[in-house]
Amino acid sequence: MAITTISNLEKKDLENQGYRVVGNHSVVKVCHWTKKSLKSEDVCYKCQFYGIKSWGCVEMSPTWLCDHRCVFCWRNTKYSWPKWIGPVDNPKDIVEGCIKAWQGLLNGFKGNERTDQERFKQTRDPLHFAISLTGEPTMYPKLPEMIDVLKEKKISSFLVTNGTIPEMIDKLTKHQPTQIYVSVYGPAKAIYEKTAMPLPKQAWDNLQATLNKLGEFNRSVVRLTLTKGYNMVEPELWGKFLSKLDMTFVELKGYMWIGHSRERLTIDAMPTHEEIQNFAQKIAQTGGFKIIDNKANSRVVLLMREGTKAERFLEYDAEGKVTMPAIM
Ligand code: SF4
């Protein structure tokens, strides 16, 4: 039985939520911030922090299944599965199919008087892929090849992973996304397992193996999704844990009370931006980090190790395309 293939019933459910299904197992959707940025109302925090263009960003995932059942996840975590079982679509078909479906979803913006038409024109030639929409992308066996396809098209890529498949992370060190995100849900095994409820028994050990490879990536981010009553605890322990890792940036993001997470948590689990900033301050003091930016309406704070010189903003060429790091 092809578990990783999206059934017609699931497809209908996903399409009713604004997704488009591409091939057997990929999904794409227009991000809230892409819509806002096309109307010049606001941009996402990754635009503010790193300079990616929210209006030219295709939010997608080559799989909609995940091997975690995080308590704070907006997804319906009944769609959780530990490994790939089913057909594996061609990476070029996925990339081109997602671009086509995403552009189709944006057609309504063309005739909208509030749309910045210059930005809309740029959606005809997308600039960025956020491989973070849903599920665990590293479960997709041809992810390195998909990253290569994006590079050939001069499209930058931010890949978000929960780090439970270190073999795939290893392969990606030779096929690097523009920026890799590893989501870490606890500074210790017990806190991690309580918050993420991983399916694979060795998930915590696999995550450590992944974190030990961060130094091999040009740009890497460790991202915390902080949820009160679960992993928004012991900032000093977090500081010590993070101080041992060789990442470029650390993002502290507050849990948002949205989607299916409301069936598992109350709104009290959602920290305020001020609480996130105070927590970040304590982590920075313990771990030797400095706070370099924040965005209140995304409840996120950006940290960097004291004394590191990593270039925060991405470089763009004359066509407005990100200039790629040399590693292939
Ligand atoms: S980077 Fe993320 S938040 Fe920003 S526009 Fe893309 S999908 Fe949305």
In this prediction the pTM is: 0.94
Paired strand residues for 303: 250, 291
Residue 307 lies in a domain: yes
The token pair that represents 200 in the structure block: 């694979």
The token pair that represents 266 in the structure block: 């109350």
- The total number of structural domains that make up the chain: 1
Which residues, at least 6 apart from 248, have a Cβ–Cβ distance to it below 8 Å? 217, 219, 220, 221, 304, 308, 310
157, containing H or E segment: strand 156-161
Residue 200 lies in a domain: yes
71, amino acid identity: V
Residue 183 CA, ligand 1 centroid: distance in Å? 16
Residue 75 lies in a domain: yes
Residue whose CA lies nearest to ligand 1 atom number 2? 130
Residue 131 CA, ligand 1 centroid: distance in Å? 9
The answer to which of 29-33, 117-121, 169-173, 320-324 has the lowest mean pLDDT is 320-324
Q: What range does the domain containing 227 cover?
A: 8-323
Q: How far apart are CA 186 and CA 55, in angstroms?
A: 33
Question: What value does the mean pLDDT take over residues 259-264?
Answer: 94
Ligand 1 atom nearest to 55, measured from its CA: 5
pLDDT at 326: 41
Cα–Cα nearest to 252, from 317, 195, 184, 312: 184
CATH number of 240's domain: 3.20.20.70
- In the structure, which protein residues have their CB atom closer than 6 angstroms to any atom of ligand 1? 31, 33-34, 44, 46, 52, 54, 57, 59, 130
Residue 208 lies in a domain: yes
Residue 1 lies in a domain: no
DSSP count for the chain of H helices, then E strands: 11, 10
Q: How far apart are CA 248 and CA 240, in angstroms?
A: 16
Residue 2 lies in a domain: no
Residue whose CA lies nearest to ligand 1 atom number 5? 54
Residue whose CA lies nearest to ligand 1 atom number 8? 31
Residue 255 CA, ligand 1 centroid: distance in Å? 16
DSSP state of 325: P
**Is 245:214 a contact under the CB 8 Å cutoff?**
yes
Residue 328 lies in a domain: no
pLDDT at 328: 37
pLDDT at 9: 81
